[in-house]
Amino acid sequence: MAILSRREQLMELFPTAPAYRVKQVEEGVFSDAKGWEDLRGLPADMRATLTAKIPWMTVHSETVQESRKKDTFKAALTVEGGVIESVLMLNRREQWTICVSSQLGCAMRCTFCATGKMGLTRNLTEDEIVDQYRFWMSFLKDRPELPPRISNVVYMGMGEPLANYDAVKRSLQLLLKHTDLGETRITVSTVGVLPRLEQILTDKEWPHVKLAVSLHSADPVTRKEIVPTSYDDFLPKLEEWTKQYLRILGNRRHHLTFEYVMLKDVNDSPRHAELLAKLVKRAGAIKVNLIPYNFTDSVYTCSTDNAIETFLKILEDEGVIATRRRTMGEDIAAACGQLIVLKQKTPAN
Ligand code: SAH
């Protein structure tokens, strides 16, 4: 059974509500209010119906873990049918970046990623995605000793955002409309679902947030091995798409990144770096973000520091802009690819 969004439930309950009421409700959800009853601008009977019928929150905190350095928090959040994870990380601006999940589990089975092992249960709704933002906002309100502002959102938690295109799109629209986040402060990360990437090129309603494509190898055989949803002509097609994207949307505000997880003796040789540099140079102004592999239950280990530095140097010598991602929250398994909900739960500390 499909789960109705808050907006759909609202329309069902109040089919004749004037537009300004709907707007009041939608804005109220993102305000400091703690429940429907706090929205004093709404008539009392409407508040009572909302309280009885529509949950104020679609995600409920199970546990929140805190890293030793106190710069990363990971929440296990109960949603209908399971538990998702969401992460809060201190960024260089001393503000927070949140990492949100877009699906309960994931169907992509990337061999180095823990979430892939769960399989896919279902897509999250737009509300379950934006409620991760609301959850962290209210968490920060209760912790006045922490910086108060969430300045960035990355769709890099559980799930493949573009496999849940419509809900992700609506969640982006809601965040842009009701929070102080701008398009360049939000990044959607994708394994590279080409039909959806193509849709973005012509979809007038798709907000032009930043995109990150999880490339992980510019060698077709290696990519297929670690990203099993890859296929024979994926790389030339991605290159073609990239050129189009940069032509249509490629001003400075629309950054495109290729993510590249560094796996020892798998995709980290100088030959792989050369292949990557060549692809990037053919495709255009793309940044490369090298992600040191974070431990999960897999056959891989992280590339050595030396290998990563050599790899970076080859890219830089070729004129490719490349950075190395800081790893955060490893001690609470909150780093990239470590989000998995195990049967036994870890208590909050
Ligand atoms: N499905 C989206 C979001 C995944 S998580 C995507 O594929 O982009 C964000 C990034 O973390 C992706 O690039 C993903 O490949 C990477 N990742 C997954 N497991 C990892 C691990 N164990 N160590 C480091 N990065 C990992």
- Phi and psi, residue 68, nearest 5°: -55, -40
Question: pTM of the entire structure?
Answer: 0.95
- Ligand 1 centroid to Cα of residue 336, in Å, is 5
The pLDDT assigned to 342 comes to 57
Rounded mean pLDDT, 209-228: 97
- Ligand 1 centroid to Cα of residue 318, in Å, is 25
Q: What is the atom index within ligand 1 of the atom nearest the CA of 298? A: 22
Q: Which residue has the higher pLDDT, 130 or 1?
A: 130
* Alpha carbon 258 to chain centroid, angstroms: 15
For ligand 1, say whether the CB of 191 is within 6 Å of any of its atoms: yes
Confidence of residue 298 (pLDDT cuts 50, 70, 90): confident
22-26, 53-57, 236-240, 291-295: which has the minimum mean pLDDT?
A: 291-295
- Ligand 1 centroid to Cα of residue 67, in Å, is 20
- In whole angstroms, what is the distance from residue 306 CA to residue 4 CA? 51
For ligand 1, say whether the CB of 258 is within 6 Å of any of its atoms: no
Look at ligand 1, atom 4, and give the residue with the nearest C-alpha. Answer: 156
Rounded mean pLDDT, 313-319: 97
The pLDDT assigned to 346 comes to 40
For ligand 1, say whether the CB of 337 is within 6 Å of any of its atoms: yes
261, 295, 340, best to mutate for ligand 1 pocket (most atoms within 8 Å of CB) = 261
Rounded mean pLDDT, 260-278: 98
Confidence of residue 344 (pLDDT cuts 50, 70, 90): very low
The pLDDT assigned to 1 comes to 60
HSE-up of residue 254 (Cα within 13 Å, Cβ side) = 15
Look at ligand 1, atom 5, and give the residue with the nearest C-alpha. Answer: 156
- DSSP code of 332? G
- Ligand 1 centroid to Cα of residue 9, in Å, is 34
Could you confirm whether 99 is annotated as catalytic? no
Catalytic entry in 99, 113, 302, 336: 336
| Distances 113 to 84, 157, 176, 206 between C-alpha atoms, Å | 15, 11, 29, 28
| Statement: residue 277 has pLDDT above 80 | yes
For ligand 1, say whether the CB of 110 is within 6 Å of any of its atoms: yes
223-237, 259-273, 290-304: which has the minimum mean pLDDT?
A: 290-304
- DSSP code of 192? -
The pLDDT assigned to 340 comes to 73
- In whole angstroms, what is the distance from residue 287 CA to residue 210 CA? 11
Rounded mean pLDDT, 218-239: 97
Percent of the chain with pLDDT over 90: 85
Of 81, 82, 75, 80, nearest to 61 (Cα)? 75
Q: What is the atom index within ligand 1 of the atom nearest the CA of 214? A: 13
| Statement: residue 86 has pLDDT above 80 | yes
Q: What is the pLDDT of residues 233-257, one digit of tens each?
A: 999 999 999 999 999 887 666 689 9
Look at ligand 1, atom 21, and give the residue with the nearest C-alpha. Answer: 337
Residue 149: CB atoms within 10 Å: 13
129, 155, 189, best to mutate for ligand 1 pocket (most atoms within 8 Å of CB) = 189
Q: Which residue has the higher pLDDT, 168 or 345?
A: 168
- Phi and psi, residue 69, nearest 5°: -75, -5
- In whole angstroms, what is the distance from residue 332 CA to residue 223 CA? 29
The pLDDT assigned to 58 comes to 97
CB 272 within 8 A of CB 318: no
Confidence of residue 343 (pLDDT cuts 50, 70, 90): very low
- Ligand 1 centroid to Cα of residue 293, in Å, is 9
Of 239, 241, 232, nearest to 200 (Cα)? 241
Q: 256 - beta bridge partners? A: 211
For ligand 1, say whether the CB of 289 is within 6 Å of any of its atoms: no
Q: What is the atom index within ligand 1 of the atom nearest the CA of 160? A: 1
* Alpha carbon 97 to chain centroid, angstroms: 11
| Distances 86 to 71, 98, 213, 343 between C-alpha atoms, Å | 14, 7, 20, 17
Rounded mean pLDDT, 119-132: 97
Q: What is the atom index within ligand 1 of the atom nearest the CA of 155? A: 3
Could you confirm whether 85 is annotated as catalytic? yes
Q: What is the pLDDT of residues 141-187, one digit of tens each?
A: 999 999 999 999 999 999 999 999 999 999 999 999 999 999 999 99
Handedness of CA 208, 212, 214, 215 (dihedral sign): positive
- Ligand 1 centroid to Cα of residue 303, in Å, is 16
- In whole angstroms, what is the distance from residue 87 CA to residue 100 CA? 7
| Statement: residue 348 has pLDDT above 50 | no
Spell out the residues 6+ positions from residue 148 whose beta carbon is closer than 8 angstroms to its own: 140, 141
How does the average pLDDT of the chain come out, rounded?
A: 93
